[in-house]
Amino acid sequence: MSTVTSSNGFAAGLAEREVRYQICADCGHVQTLARLACRSCGASRLEWRRAAGTGAVFAVTVVSRAPSDEFRALAPYTLVLVDLDEGCRIMGHAEPGVQIGQRVVADFFDHGGRTLLRFRSP
Ligand SMILES: [Zn+2]
């Protein structure tokens, strides 16, 4: 497990096709997305780590009506919540047909000038 020094966080990780998460330097709690403080103990000493990108599907939903113009061209699309092996939960796109409990690995795609997460079968 390597430490990432960039403070740009989650979005910067995606741009480099990496999944990054935060670990609290005080209590060791892990969390996804870019937060200012530990959700467990409130400490602000958070470090970025690079996740392996592997995990298990916790929830699946198929979006048939996109919430914004940006995603309209993609609909219908599959969104998942994945429990990463590092111990935190993250949302991303997924290939159609993924099932709850299934092992997946992070992949990436470019859309609207951004790199987004899309999980697929390992
Ligand atoms: Zn903490």
pTM beyond 0.75, yes or no: yes
Q: How many domains does the chain have?
A: 2
Ligand 1 ion: Cβ-proximal residues, 5 Å cutoff: 24, 26-27, 29, 38, 40-41, 43
Give tens-digit pLDDT for 54-67: 999 999 999 999 88
**Residue 112: CATH number of its domain:** 2.40.50
What is residue 118's three-state secondary structure? Answer: strand
- Distance in Å, CA 35 to ligand 1 centroid: 12
Same-domain status, 29 and 67: no
Same-domain status, 68 and 44: no
Going by pLDDT thresholds of 50, 70 and 90, the confidence category of residue 8 is low
CA angle 100/104/107 to nearest 5° reads 130
2 is a domain residue: no
- Distance in Å, CA 44 to ligand 1 centroid: 8
Is the pLDDT at 88 greater than 90? The verdict is yes
- Distance in Å, CA 103 to ligand 1 centroid: 28
Residue 98 structural domain: 54-120
- Distance in Å, CA 8 to ligand 1 centroid: 20
30 is a domain residue: yes
Same-domain status, 16 and 58: no
- Distance in Å, CA 27 to ligand 1 centroid: 4
The b/e string for 66-93 (b: 16+ C-beta within 10 A; e otherwise) is eeeeebeeeeebbebbbebebebebbbb
Same-domain status, 58 and 103: yes
